[in-house]
Structure 1
Amino acid sequence: MVLRSSILILIFFSVFCELLFSQGNPVETPADTVHGQNDSIHGYPVAESEITDIINYIASDSAVFDLKSNQLFLYNKAELTYQDMRLTAGKIVIDRQTQILDATGVADSTNESGFSQLPVMIQGSEVYEGSHLTYNFKTRQGSVSQGFTEADVGYYFGDKIKRVAGDLYYVKGGLYTTSSYRVNPEYFFSSPEMKIIPNDKIIARSVFLYIEGVPVFWVPFAVFPNKKGRNSGIITPTFGDDGTYGNYIAGLGYFWAINDYMDINATLSYFTKGRLDLKSKFRYALRYNFSGGIEAGYSRIRLGEDTDPDKFSSDAWMINIRHNQRIDPTLTIDGNVTFTSGKSYFDNITNNLNDLLRQNIVSNFTLTKFWEGTPFSLSLNYFRDQNLQTGDINERLPSINFSNTEVFPFRSKDFTGSNASAIEYLSYSYNLAAIYNRQKINVETTTGVDSVFKDSRPGVRHDLRINFTPPFDFITIRPFFNYTELWYDRSIRKYFEPADSSVLTTTVNRFEAVRFFNTGISLSSKLIGIFTPEIFNITGIRHTITPSISYSFQPDFSSPGFGYYGEYKDAEGDIVKYSHYEGSLFGGAPASELQSLNFSIGNLFEMKTLENDTTENKFQLFNLNTGLSYNFAADSLRFSELFTDFRTAIGGILNIGGSARFNFYKFDPVSNRRINTFLWDSDGKLAELTSFSINLSTGFNFGFSSSSDLNLDSIERLPNETVFDKLDHVVYDIPVSVSFNYNYSENKSNPFIPSRISNLRTNLNFSLTRNWKFTASASYDFIRKEIGAPYITAYRDLNSWEMLFNWYPTGFYRGFRLEIRIKAPDLRDIKITKETNSRGAFSDF
């Protein structure tokens, strides 16, 4: 790893200078430059070379070829170029007699190092530097003094690099760091001796980690990969002490970069008090084609002895499979499936709040296909929902959905809307859903022995929608007809057993179809009013009213003639009606006749303002919608609840939205339901509020600056200092972002037992300096009068290091975690951690 790029310098000189010996270059002096020509100098030995491209060399001061010493001298801003490689230095000397190339800088008392124009080689996009470069073509050996080059992350440095036979290099005084400071970096890895095998590995002896010039860590030797890209290797573990499981070594493992398209890792965590955790992750990816992976974990806990009364044992596991692939523009596969033994796995393996508070694991694996130029699409889906609290599992394998979007079957290809026949406005759409559903439900019994209920059943649903939308000038009329058909492989029958007053249920296994429909007509229009107040640059206010009325009819499919419902008499002799398809995937047919007249009206207020002579701004002021329905076929409570919703934004600062519902009928506390008596007749009021909700949200950005005359984005920020001392003498900029969200809801379906929710959530983000960033979030429940889930984080950029601080002040998982680590991704295992959470090995806040 160390000095890999500097070695390329020697390789370049080996090829480059052999080329110079194989092609003489007569000196030309015009315009302070000398260009190499592709001919030879007679009388001097010429080495063989396979290089055929032209070599150019330039010197700003002079280019001298000394025939007596057989040397070529390039002075001041000397430059040699060949293909995509270029060498620059203050002085370049090529000795044709000894076949040695020497490149150095020039003395410069104004430079901190005492030299300027140090040798620099550029190849492609990479840059390599050194204080002194030499190469001997006879022995094919060379050296680089004070070699310096940038790596993928950080840079390498060596006091002396020597090339011996073949591709083998020895380095004296090697150094590596990701610090941005070349002089006195805040940390670096150092080794007095290294052996480098290009494109293979680096072997270093006595490796020290220095922080602020102080050695803090040492290993007798180390072997580093010396290849670009991902490299296989050991995953560094962490060590510590856990209050429950004792001393631990966590995260010890191995990473295997199989090839450019896949890799795998495996880690082990061992605790001295009876715990073992294993994790593994396999990933694969082919850009623009597919990606995915398989992740698995296992946790085994054995706390206490066999005779201990509080002995605890646990075996928890998890498997996650992901795959995403676009086979072609019309066919895709997307899946994320997780199987786990239960919630105990997440409780044991992590402190991440999202995982700890998770109630369900939902998995999906979907294949989607659509046919270009047609209204057809198809999806095949596997769905799995696992309840982590109860262990219940609901699974759909498979779920097939076929869709035919809206089609106008009688519309001609040259349809324009004018002079079109009425039948051309007739359209239909169709959707098919086929599901095979499986359930596993854990049932708690009074005897204390739990049982498992398992059920599996298929179902198919067909939906056909027919619409007719003839055009009218000021009104939209749309007759519609909706047809649904359900297919099942079973139905149920219920019987009352007088002996024990129980209800017996039997299953009839046979194919059965359920068919139902509804039809109706809707009318809607749009009314627009505009007025121009001509005040405060307001150019106009528009009020848009959208009234709508519709009539829907649906038969009573619970009538005996349809055969979808049965009935029996209970112990009191009352007739109980039930559906033959209770518990089926798509339910049964609707049970009551519907002749519903629906009213709704929408109100939208918009305003337009003039910003300047050519620019206008348009925004919404207020949106209010309300609606009501009346069912002619109902024997009571024919009026539905009156619903209304609203939303507005005040100056782009405060967003307000909400809804409310009102009931016109009296509530009877004895029967615990609404009765067919108007509130106007009993209590002298029109309606009663049954539910209400409102949401207020706002967010704004501002900043504190040392000068109000400067733009915040252009002010120079302090890199390290805080801004609380001597604010009148420093230049500072503190950007702040704040958001508030308030929710209030009230449910009074039963006026005697109302329920309320009222909470406020806030988020705060600010940066004291360019390197200090803070975030905080919390919520407050006004009903319970308690703070919920406060969370505070602090981040400090330490140049090549970073500090992260996370704090949960209250709650079950309260505690803090402080971590200081190297920012470079490959070195993040080098860190210092302090935390108060008892499960330290897994505190991944």
Structure 2
Amino acid sequence: MAFQKPSHTFTKIHLKALHTNNFKILFALSFTVFINTLSFAQDIPKKGKTINRSVNDTVVTTVVDSLPIPEINEKTQDSTLTDSVPPKKELLEHIVTYHAEDYTKFNQKKQKLYLYNQAKIDYGDMNITAGSITIDYTKNTVYAKGITDSIEGYTQKPVFKQGTNVVEPDSIIFNTETKKALIFNSKTEQGEGTVVAQITKKENDSVYFLKNAKYTTAENLDDPEYYIKLRKAKIVPGKKIVTGLANLFIYDVPTPIGVPFAFFPQSDKQTSGLIIPSFGEQNDRGFFLQNGGYYFAISDYIDLAAIGDYYTNGSYGVRLESTYSRRYKFRGNFGFRYENIINSERGFPDYSRRTIYNLRWSHSQDAKANPNSRFSASVNLGSSNYYQSSVNQVNSGAFLNNTLSSSISYSKTFQGEPQVNFSLTGTHSQNTRTETISMTLPTLQASVGRIFPFAPKTGSKKGIIQNINFQYNVRGENKYITTDSLFFKKEMFEEGKTGFNHGIPLSTNFKLFKHFSLSASTSYKEVWTLKTIRKSYDVKNRTVSTRTVNGFDSYRTYNFGTNLGTTVYGMFNFEKEGKDVKIKAIRHVMRPSISYNINPAFDDYYTTAETVNADGLTQAEVDEIVGNARLSDIEYTRFAEVPIGGPPNKNFSSSMGISLSNNFEAKVRDKDSTATEPKKVILLNNLNFQTAYNFAGDSLQWSPVRISGGTQLFDNKMSINFGATLDPYALDNNNVKVKEFNISNGGSLFRLTSANINASWSLSSKGRKEKDKNIDENVRSGGRADDLFGVSQDFANQQINGNENKDKDKDEESSEFYNYKIPWNLRLAYAVNYSNKRRENEISSHSLMFSGDIELSPKWSIGASSGFDIKNAGFTYTQLRFERDLLSWRMNFSWIPFSERTSWNFFIGIRSSILKDLKYEKRRQPDINLRSR
């Protein structure tokens, strides 16, 4: 760009009012308008040059002659010719606007424009603000600098903006014609970091050259805690920084960490690149490189990180991690981990080699994507001992996982009358202790919406007839039960079992005596299967053998049930006239319910095991060989292994169920004196009682009374749940339940057979903000959504989220001294279980888990996750954590002091994701020999 000389346009006259003289003011304005209207400026050509008259002028003239001139299809040319000197642009490409608070002064002789105090110039995408700006029209330069104040010092430093690039120097010289600039002591943001340079040369809009520059991500640029010194560098804003010799300085102290040249990507978008591994040594595997690989920025919607571990004894591991997202469509992540673990050396007696793997996939669909269909996935499967055997510290938080589970489902709704719902689901459940795997591939479910054949076309449904409704449900399962060794092998699929359940429920409901609600229902069920079983008893070998019979088979069942219930409200008012009592009232809500169910006998589907190898044996001899159980007692149903389940009962059942649920709330005086209404407090969320009586039973007709309840205390910070089972029948001398009531046997009305209490409590200091513990790894691995079992020790990947807790309390920000109120948080989980079914009278389990963090200072925090087994008097899995906030750096230390997972891990590195490879890690990994015992 170039600034127009004042002679090329209207001259701006700046007047300062000293005293009013109307005549002189009017004369000056008239003279100015007259001169600018009738005068023109033209450059004088150099001597010796002649005007070339061969150039056509743009003015068109018409020649008039008395003779007729034939029409020629070309324009006549004027005899006036143009100047041979190329004309200069008389107008700027953009409008120039400038402003200054104190004054704007133009020196006609020097052709300079001076702007002072809060000066500002805008031209196109360029903007300069400074305390003082000088524009030299003869040299086409702009010089911007700050102003010096006797009190504040050097203030109003220049800020140069062009597009998205911002430079904050001490001073700047900018050439408006060549677009080049010379910048002194500049501070430029480049990506996550800032470049501080003594001298910067702006070559054009996209290239800067630096000398003696500093690159840092520190917030305090005047005294950064670290920086990378760049002797000579080239910056392409928004793309890259290329430098020669560079090394790391910590508080202006040089370190030997340096490179002869370096490249810093500065793209705003995701870019592919190397992931620098951590290195170390482990006694039983030698030296290692861990968590190194390559990051692939595939597109704006999906990425992929290929990470690997290698040990010099031959062990290695591979991890593939991918995240994908499409706004308003779906989002998810995928991960696959494989480890080949070698112990000791080949030829030694303790040499072993094994492979473990784990597959995780999480997918969720946005509700706006398609309201009538939905697809979701939550997969976590692999080797049962993966989390216990893995040598990568990223899996530390999932060490105590006992189960792995997965679910993939697709559902579709067909709108209409009636509505039809359809879903396909694949599930997986894996016990990591027994290595048993149960899978359904797939489960089909479909249903037709409720149909009210007698309901009126308009208005609400009333009465027993109008509320009659029925629907159709179908469920099909293809189930496999296998182990780790047979997973997805031929034997697994050979043992698959298939079943279909068709159900037609019919129900109605209506009001009885205005305050009672009565419902009645009956259902018909038909089950299909492709495999049944046959059992036989080998008397000689005293074994029961089971064989599978292939072929279609089915059974049909039906039942009837009814339920009568109501709701009773009670209010206990404690308010007294003239007194402001603390407890205003207590509200009690009771929901009693009585149900009656009839289940016919389906003994036709039950049979007795056949006897084999019993030739020549009498029934007495058979009974003697079998023992206490007679052969006729070995009864079974051929549908016992159908995935849907076999016939519900062999004998006729006619039972009544009794239940009572309670809810207690209180209205108390609010501590807030401005509140106009009492505060509602929940005393008991629920208190439930359940039992049943079997009219068709010949003994033990009463079922045990089951009690359950729960509540929240201390502003919902503490949650308590409890339960108990009370049995009305007595035990004989062999601790076997008999058909005699316990009270008739000299005991109490009920016998307490089991009880449990579970409590969780979350505490924190006032104003304490929970730190991001990055527990997503625990959740994705099937663990707890808290840190009671510890967290991942992969600090290198967590540091990109290390800017948590940046927002301090206002009291801390306003004072240089540390607040005496030390921030902290504590989480407690308590569980106790009591068992007394056969007069054990013992605490079967009793434990306390706890985790917490405390900030000893604004920069130091410690945390722990542990538990205590009160019954066995010992600590459970324990993890201790220490963290130091080093401003731009982060230091972590994690220690598992005992158990088979004993290990520690130290890490220090830069928070910024672009420089996260500047790190140091040292660790002692768990002993694989100890874990394999």
For normalisation by structure 2, the TM-score amounts to 0.78
Instruction: Provide structure 2 residue ranges, at least 5 long, that are not aligned to the other structure.
Output: 18-35, 44-86, 612-618, 624-629, 769-807, 929-933
TM-fit CA distance, 1:53: 4.5
TM-fit CA distance, 1:25: 7.1
Q: What residue number does 2:428 align with?
A: 384
Q: Deviations over 1:612-641 (max 9, x none)?
A: 672122223244322321101112211111
Deviates more, 1:828-837 or 1:432-441: 828-837
Instruction: Provide structure 1 residue ranges, at least 5 long, that are not aligned to the other structure.
Output: 1-14, 33-38, 445-450, 706-711, 723-730, 841-845
Q: What residue number does 1:617 align with?
A: 679
TM-fit CA distance, 1:58: 0.8
TM-fit CA distance, 1:828: 2.4
User: 2:696 is matched with which residue: 620, 629, 633?
Assistant: 633
Q: What residue number does 1:580 align with?
A: 638
* 2:900–2:927 contact (8 Å) kept in structure 1: no
Q: What residue number does 1:11 align with?
A: none
Q: Deviations over 1:335-380 (max 9, x none)?
A: 2435535525762342333333333332222222234576433222
Q: Quick one: distance in 1 between partners of 2:561 and 2:92?
A: 87
2:724 equivalent to 1:660: yes
Q: What residue number does 1:412 align with?
A: 456
Q: Quick one: distance in 1 between partners of 2:763 and 2:292?
A: 45
Q: Quick one: distance in 1 between partners of 2:759 and 2:333?
A: 42
Q: What residue number does 1:183 align with?
A: 222
Q: Structure 1 388/125 Cα, relative in aligned 2: closer, same or farther at 3 Å?
A: same
* 1:704–1:733 contact (8 Å) kept in structure 2: no
Q: Quick one: distance in 2 between partners of 1:64 and 1:593?
A: 108
Q: What residue number does 1:715 align with?
A: 811
TM-fit CA distance, 1:79: 0.7
Q: Quick one: distance in 2 between partners of 1:800 and 1:22?
A: 55
* 1:720–1:770 contact (8 Å) kept in structure 2: no
Q: Structure 1 62/744 Cα, relative in aligned 2: closer, same or farther at 3 Å?
A: same
Q: Quick one: distance in 1 between partners of 2:561 and 2:744?
A: 33
User: 2:14 is matched with which residue: 29, 45, 54?
Assistant: 29
Q: Quick one: distance in 2 between partners of 1:364 and 1:69?
A: 80
2:348 equivalent to 1:308: yes
Q: Structure 1 818/495 Cα, relative in aligned 2: closer, same or farther at 3 Å?
A: closer
Higher-strand-fraction structure: 1
* 1:526–1:545 contact (8 Å) kept in structure 2: yes
Q: Quick one: distance in 2 between partners of 1:23 and 1:549?
A: 101
Deviates more, 1:123-132 or 1:601-610: 123-132
Q: What residue number does 1:119 align with?
A: 158
Q: Quick one: distance in 1 between partners of 2:744 and 2:833?
A: 29
* 2:159–2:167 contact (8 Å) kept in structure 1: yes
SS of the equivalent of 1:274 reads: coil
Q: Deviations over 1:382-411 (max 9, x none)?
A: 223344445443322222222445554432
Q: Structure 1 387/421 Cα, relative in aligned 2: closer, same or farther at 3 Å?
A: closer
How many residues of Structure 1 are paired with residues of Structure 2 in the alignment? 791
Q: Quick one: distance in 1 between partners of 2:544 and 2:407?
A: 38
Q: What residue number does 2:517 align with?
A: 476
Q: Deviations over 1:653-698 (max 9, x none)?
A: 765432211112222454x632222223333432211111123444
* 2:191–2:267 contact (8 Å) kept in structure 1: no
Q: Quick one: distance in 1 between partners of 2:211 and 2:456?
A: 84
User: 2:555 is matched with which residue: 502, 514, 539?
Assistant: 514
* 2:522–2:560 contact (8 Å) kept in structure 1: yes
Q: Quick one: distance in 2 between partners of 1:485 and 1:239?
A: 63
Amino acid paired to 2:631:
D
TM-fit CA distance, 1:794: 3.0
Q: Whose Rg is larger?
A: 2
Q: What residue number does 1:207 align with?
A: 246
SS of the equivalent of 2:465 reads: helix
2:666 equivalent to 1:607: yes
2:273 equivalent to 1:233: yes
Amino acid paired to 1:585:
P
Q: Quick one: distance in 2 between partners of 1:91 and 1:764?
A: 56
Amino acid paired to 2:402:
Q
TM-fit CA distance, 1:331: 2.0
Amino acid paired to 1:209:
L
> Mapping of 1:532-551 within 5 angstroms?
532-534=573-575, 536-551=581-596
For normalisation by structure 1, the TM-score amounts to 0.85
Q: Structure 1 498/678 Cα, relative in aligned 2: closer, same or farther at 3 Å?
A: same
Q: What residue number does 1:108 align with?
A: 149
* 1:75–1:90 contact (8 Å) kept in structure 2: yes
* 1:680–1:686 contact (8 Å) kept in structure 2: yes
RMSD: 3.4
Q: What residue number does 1:195 align with?
A: 234
TM-fit CA distance, 1:746: 0.8
* 2:298–2:304 contact (8 Å) kept in structure 1: yes
Q: Quick one: distance in 2 between partners of 1:42 and 1:340?
A: 87
* 2:722–2:755 contact (8 Å) kept in structure 1: yes
Q: Structure 1 230/756 Cα, relative in aligned 2: closer, same or farther at 3 Å?
A: same
Q: Structure 1 62/770 Cα, relative in aligned 2: closer, same or farther at 3 Å?
A: same
SS of the equivalent of 2:12 reads: coil
* 1:719–1:770 contact (8 Å) kept in structure 2: no
> Mapping of 1:395-544 within 5 angstroms?
395-404=439-448, 406-416=450-460, 420-441=462-483, 454-472=494-512, 473-534=514-575, 536-544=581-589
2:200 equivalent to 1:161: yes
SS of the equivalent of 2:138 reads: coil
User: 2:107 is matched with which residue: 66, 71, 93?
Assistant: 66
Q: Structure 1 270/384 Cα, relative in aligned 2: closer, same or farther at 3 Å?
A: same
Amino acid paired to 2:215:
Y
Q: What residue number does 2:600 align with?
A: 555
Q: How high is the sequence identity, in percent, across the aligned residues?
A: 27
* 1:443–1:452 contact (8 Å) kept in structure 2: no
User: 1:642 is matched with which residue: 705, 710, 732?
Assistant: 705
Q: Quick one: distance in 1 between partners of 2:420 and 2:16?
A: 74
> Mapping of 1:563-574 within 5 angstroms?
563=605, 565-568=607-610, 571-572=622-623, 573-574=630-631
TM-fit CA distance, 1:18: 5.5
* 2:900–2:926 contact (8 Å) kept in structure 1: no
Q: What residue number does 1:88 align with?
A: 129
Q: What residue number does 2:53 align with?
A: none
Q: Quick one: distance in 2 between partners of 1:308 and 1:770?
A: 52
* 1:243–1:838 contact (8 Å) kept in structure 2: no
* 1:556–1:593 contact (8 Å) kept in structure 2: yes
2:291 equivalent to 1:254: no
Q: Structure 1 60/620 Cα, relative in aligned 2: closer, same or farther at 3 Å?
A: closer
SS of the equivalent of 1:682 reads: coil
> Mapping of 1:132-143 within 5 angstroms?
132-137=171-176, 139-143=178-182
Q: Quick one: distance in 2 between partners of 1:595 and 1:465?
A: 19
SS of the equivalent of 1:598 reads: strand
* 2:481–2:492 contact (8 Å) kept in structure 1: no
Q: Structure 1 303/537 Cα, relative in aligned 2: closer, same or farther at 3 Å?
A: closer
Q: Quick one: distance in 2 between partners of 1:137 and 1:240?
A: 56
Q: What residue number does 1:265 align with?
A: 305
Q: Quick one: distance in 1 between partners of 2:761 and 2:524?
A: 45
Q: Structure 1 748/577 Cα, relative in aligned 2: closer, same or farther at 3 Å?
A: same
* 1:155–1:177 contact (8 Å) kept in structure 2: yes
Q: Quick one: distance in 2 between partners of 1:227 and 1:182?
A: 22
Q: Quick one: distance in 2 between partners of 1:287 and 1:19?
A: 49
SS of the equivalent of 2:876 reads: strand
SS of the equivalent of 1:423 reads: helix
Q: Quick one: distance in 2 between partners of 1:125 and 1:30?
A: 38
* 2:537–2:609 contact (8 Å) kept in structure 1: no
Q: Quick one: distance in 2 between partners of 1:654 and 1:166?
A: 60
* 1:364–1:382 contact (8 Å) kept in structure 2: yes
Deviates more, 1:233-242 or 1:792-801: 792-801
User: 1:76 is matched with which residue: 113, 117, 132?
Assistant: 117
TM-fit CA distance, 1:284: 3.2
* 1:733–1:769 contact (8 Å) kept in structure 2: no
* 2:384–2:484 contact (8 Å) kept in structure 1: no
User: 1:355 is matched with which residue: 374, 398, 409?
Assistant: 398
